[in-house]
Structure 1
Amino acid sequence: MTEKIVKVQTCYGPINGCVKTSVLGRDYYSFQAIPYMKKPIGKLRFADPQPPENWSEPLDCTKEGPAFSNVFFLDNQYQGDLSGVHINVYTNNINPTKPYAVLLWIHGGGVFTGNALESITGPDYFMQKNVVLVTFQYRIGIFGFLSLDDPELNIPGNAQFRDHIMAMKWVQENIANFGGDPNNVTLFGESWGGGATGYHMISPKSKGLFHRGILMSGTPLNNIYSFMPRRNWALRLCLILGYSGPHDDKHILEFLENVDEKELAIASGKVMTDREKNEEAFMFPFGPVIETYDNGNAFITEDIINMVKNAWGNQIDILIGNTSNECISFAAMIKTQEALDSFKSFQRQVPRDLELELDSPKRLEYAEQLKKYYYGCLEPSISNLEGLMQVSNDSCLWHPMYRFIKARLENKSGKTFNYRFDYVTENNLWRSFLKIDEIYQGACHADDCCYIFKMKGLEGENFKLEVDSEAFNGIKLMTTMFVNFATYGNPNVEELKNVEWQEATKENPFIGLNINEKECKLMIIPELERVKIFDEFYHEQKKVLY
């Protein structure tokens, strides 16, 4: 069968897309691997992104492009290359009577891994709706977050955020040609993608490039990646790779610009010490930093909480939430005493922005308080992981979410709709992939993504989505909520069956919708009572909470 080719003009040149059919039987237009920035090779490897060269002949955008260079978290194998910086557009109508709202997705992966490939972000479910979906690949890991102190080198850090901005500007300039409304763009993402969405809400550099936000399991205040301390990460990496030259930034940069990208991606994960990983809870050495100088494009310029308080994005409407058991993955990860020993330190749960030294008496005191609060007189064990799950859920996600919401509400915010995703069916593919024991209840980190994207990379051979199932009902519910919110600013839908999803208020900042396969219910999010213990630490240390 001959593929139907569709031509669209972009500001850099014409492209050819094609018509595909979703798993649910609806035809849609697919445009993949569209250049939005130059390939970051040579001197551009770590530098601010540059626009691509123009072209005159139609570019073939009918096939998927590669991921960006990284060690993929699902199989711990290297994937992609430096050419993986491009954008994908999907829609069921490129000439609608009224332009469609735009959903612009930032993929997750903890700043150092992940991708926007169809294997985990298949557009099929969204293509049942009248919306334009945009996904894109961008620099990750050291390529997106190398930060050097020498201002003459112009590598201040946070290049990844500038990639995002380049993609957002591409959407503003081009999306009308695909039937999308450039004045109605919702930025959304999960995990690091949710955190990045929040970062763009607080940085003035992103102002006006999107109009609503959906933050799924991530905020800029996340205890894992809110910011990275400035340590000799780059030098450590060079030494691992056999570098023997001078230790100044100029020579370090020259070396890193010429190392094979695969070697660089693989070696980057070996830089941290065991204490940095296990007790300080660093996932990766290269991440968001407060830039020490402004090259004209500074993205993060001061403490994150101060930027949150004064954010331009406080004026826009958002959906924000977590899953009911984010860290249930511990049940799959902690099978041995050695694995338990690497996770059971409660020092790692003390918020990073309290700025307490690792072995300081106060940090040790707070760690002991947390242990007692979540375990009482018990000790963490392989057969008793619930406490570790809960404290990690709260310190990394629920408490940062609470602070983010409170800061918005204290500073004249737009509407805030909170949710708690507690939907568990056979379509919770992340839970299934991790082989979580049924004794542990709830939806795990990224399970909500399974209800907005088709994830054929996680589906087993016998997987089949039944259209009359609770799983399919969840897909209809989530995609309708998201598209309604993107289109109208209101996530309420008929599928909620007479439950009105109310916005958060100063009086009830943690009121939200508990999304469950049996019943969706408006409630005060139950994790509120637990996260208050973290508030006490901030008060005692005289640190800004919100």
Structure 2
Amino acid sequence: MASLLPAALVLIFALSKPVATEEESDGPLVQTEQGTIRGIQGVSIRDKEFLVFLGIPYAKPPVGELRFKAPQLPDPWNETFEATQEGSNCPQIGLMSQMKEGDENCLFLNIFTNKLPADSNDLKAVMVWIHGGAFITGSATSMMFGPDHLLTEDIVFVSINYRIGVLGFLSLPEAGIPGNNGLKDQVMALRWVQKNIANFGGDPGKVTIFGQSSGAASVHFHLMSPMTTGLFHRAISQSGTGLSNWAYAEPEYMNAGAFNVGAAIGCVSTNAKDLLECFRTKPAKDFVNVSACEDETGVFQTTLKPTREEYNVNDEEVFLPGKPADLISSKKFHAVPYITGINSKEALTFLKRTEKPSFWDKFDKNFDKVVAGVAYKDVSQVKDVSEKIKKFYFGDKKPSKDTLDNFVDCFTDFDYFIGADRAVKKHAAISTAPVFYYYFQFDGELGIVKKALKLKNPGVAHADELGYMFSTIISAPIEDDSDENKTLTRVVKMWTNFAKTGDPSSEMNSVLNVKWDPMTKTDPVYLDINKELAMRRDLLADRASVWNEALDPL
């Protein structure tokens, strides 16, 4: 296979071209509820032509009086909308630039399709991508999420921006702001897809939502939300669920977080309404530096995040009506086919944090607080078991740079594995739809995070698997007969099979030669994605078991 880099550069060139005038452009035209859209034609890294529609507004700009409000339907337009450039990122510290970037007017989506439909019977499965970034960074950019490989399987691909950080997750019910606006943006995008995607060749009855990290947790939250009934039909969570310890916070945490943000940006107040009024006067980029912090354990924490909405505020729809674990246990979720899983060494992505002089001492002394955070309990309830857990990973050694491999397993487990494992076991026990579990162990040249961070440690880092489904600006060139290409082909085939049928093994071939069976309560199987595929049982059973004493029963 040719290098992925030239394709990314071609895409950058396409996005930087001036917008064509009505007379000059001959791009594809599509009618939407808001008006006519003109896209552009592209060529993928696999030399396949496709159609691209970029920067489509799916909601009104959330600015002025709409800041901190639930998303509103977009205004119609009379002239043809030139969908030839991606819209702005939402305000953030850029992952690549490490500088403030973005604009509040950021609620856009992109659509990629192989062709426009000949008639209503010519519709393809739709895959809607929800980006990750800890709910504080990231975007739908095709420089990182190019769907070239996915389009070879004849699906329609949609990627979306949504509000992040304080602007997306402020929760002040006393001031009329219930929270979860970033998730409600995603709902608005899914509603737009339902109304319009058929005109782009997509089947509104075959929508799969998939995401990674905080995007994966978002996907899981959509399974629990009454707002998303009928908006999607399958779901994939990659390295994140609503049960991940970083993905959800109780209202008390959110209230304290809002006032902490206020103190940090000069909005000192003890009154929620006064705090909100002050927030409305601040430039959007004032909020991006206070969207996360290092807590007393040395671990990075997002200041504001998804939360439950305790009551209806201002007659707004409620996105999350309870604690995630409770909603699943009480069967208040959409029973659709579901895939989730993790990478083998997720924590490698975050090793830079351990280089701070104070990190190891903080982590060691406050390990009980780490366990309490995972268990959603008071520290006093986990004092004894936290020592057992620490001993399991580190033995008689003190956590330090000399026990880095042990730390990687420990961090991988408490941030990713435990949440995913408990989520998949809960769903497998009570869902009427199949649940599929995976463990990504193939450590190859398309691992984009290890490449970007120049990591030599063995294992698959957080977000590495994205290089096996998307073309990116940093993806390495690979050969057709390489294990990397074989793994990419398998992953793309399984993910698109699932989008089309709800079964990742519905169409097999010489490369995809192992049937992926669903997990059940009595048969806890998972797919091991390595150089070869294999079905195995009881993923990391000893590591799951050591946490059970700290956690509530499933």
Residues 55 and 108 in structure 2, CA contact (< 8 A), matched pair in contact too: yes
Instruction: Quote the Cα distance in structure 1 between the aligned partners of 2:372 and 2:433.
Output: 27
Instruction: Quote the Cα distance in structure 2 between the aligned partners of 1:348 and 1:386.
Output: 21
Instruction: Quote the Cα distance in structure 2 between the aligned partners of 1:114 and 1:455.
Output: 14
Q: CA deviation at 1:332?
A: 4.4
Instruction: Quote the Cα distance in structure 1 between the aligned partners of 2:371 and 2:69.
Output: 34
Provide the secondary structure at the position in 1 that maps to 2:45: coil
Instruction: Quote the Cα distance in structure 2 between the aligned partners of 1:235 and 1:497.
Output: 52
Residues 351 and 395 in structure 1, CA contact (< 8 A), matched pair in contact too: no
Instruction: Quote the Cα distance in structure 2 between the aligned partners of 1:46 and 1:448.
Output: 33
Instruction: Quote the Cα distance in structure 2 between the aligned partners of 1:368 and 1:172.
Output: 50
- CA displacement 1:89-143 (0-9 Å, x = unmatched): 0011221663100001111011111111112111222122200000010100111
AA in 2 matched with 1:512: Y
Residues 514 and 525 in structure 1, CA contact (< 8 A), matched pair in contact too: no
**Which of 376, 398, 407 is equivalent to 2:417?**
398
AA in 1 matched with 2:133: G
Counterpart position of 1:347: 368
Instruction: Quote the Cα distance in structure 1 between the aligned partners of 2:239 and 2:393.
Output: 21
Residues 496 and 520 in structure 1, CA contact (< 8 A), matched pair in contact too: no
Instruction: Quote the Cα distance in structure 2 between the aligned partners of 1:347 and 1:78.
Output: 35
| Residue 384 of structure 2 corresponds to residue 365 of structure 1 | yes
Residues 370 and 391 in structure 1, CA contact (< 8 A), matched pair in contact too: no
Instruction: Quote the Cα distance in structure 2 between the aligned partners of 1:498 and 1:268.
Output: 45
Counterpart position of 1:445: 462
AA in 2 matched with 1:405: V
Structure-1-length-normalised TM-score = 0.91
Counterpart position of 2:136: 112
AA in 1 matched with 2:329: K
**Which of 311, 327, 330 is equivalent to 1:293?**
311
- CA displacement 1:179-198 (0-9 Å, x = unmatched): 00000000110111111100
**Which of 235, 250, 253 is equivalent to 2:259?**
235
- CA displacement 1:464-494 (0-9 Å, x = unmatched): 2333322222221111111111001111232
AA in 2 matched with 1:287: K
Instruction: Quote the Cα distance in structure 1 between the aligned partners of 2:486 and 2:534.
Output: 16
Aligned ranges 1:283-362 → 2 under 5 Å: 283-295=301-313, 296-313=316-333, 315-335=335-355, 337-344=357-364, 345-352=366-373, 354-358=375-379, 360=380, 362=381
Q: CA deviation at 1:346?
A: 2.2
Instruction: Quote the Cα distance in structure 1 between the aligned partners of 2:409 and 2:125.
Output: 37
Q: CA deviation at 1:174?
A: 0.3
Q: CA deviation at 1:154?
A: 2.3
Counterpart position of 2:472: 455
Provide the secondary structure at the position in 1 that maps to 2:480: coil
Instruction: Quote the Cα distance in structure 1 between the aligned partners of 2:421 and 2:371.
Output: 16
| Residue 514 of structure 2 corresponds to residue 499 of structure 1 | yes
Counterpart position of 2:43: 21
**Which of 264, 276, 283 is equivalent to 1:260?**
283
AA in 1 matched with 2:306: P
Of stretches 406-415 and 344-353 in structure 1, the one that deviates more from structure 2 is 344-353
Aligned ranges 1:420-431 → 2 under 5 Å: 420-431=439-450
Counterpart position of 2:496: 483
Counterpart position of 1:432: 451
Counterpart position of 1:122: 146
Of stretches 97-106 and 289-298 in structure 1, the one that deviates more from structure 2 is 289-298
Aligned ranges 1:37-116 → 2 under 5 Å: 37-95=59-117, 98-116=122-140
Aligned ranges 1:212-223 → 2 under 5 Å: 212-223=234-245
Instruction: Quote the Cα distance in structure 1 between the aligned partners of 2:271 and 2:300.
Output: 25
Q: CA deviation at 1:215?
A: 0.9
Residues 493 and 512 in structure 2, CA contact (< 8 A), matched pair in contact too: no
Q: CA deviation at 1:353?
A: 6.3
Instruction: Quote the Cα distance in structure 1 between the aligned partners of 2:376 and 2:47.
Output: 53
Q: CA deviation at 1:224?
A: 1.4
AA in 2 matched with 1:490: D
Distance 1:52 1:256, change over 3 A: same
Distance 1:302 1:137, change over 3 A: same
Provide the secondary structure at the position in 1 that maps to 2:173: coil
Percent identity between the two aligned chains: 30
Q: CA deviation at 1:343?
A: 4.3
For the aligned residue pairs, the C-alpha RMSD in angstroms reads 2.1
Instruction: Quote the Cα distance in structure 2 between the aligned partners of 1:480 and 1:171.
Output: 23
**Which of 242, 246, 256 is equivalent to 1:224?**
246
Residues 226 and 320 in structure 2, CA contact (< 8 A), matched pair in contact too: no
Provide the secondary structure at the position in 2 that maps to 1:315: coil
Counterpart position of 1:189: 211
AA in 1 matched with 2:321: T
Provide the secondary structure at the position in 1 that maps to 2:42: strand
Count how many residue pairs are aligned between Structure 1 and Structure 2.
Answer: 523
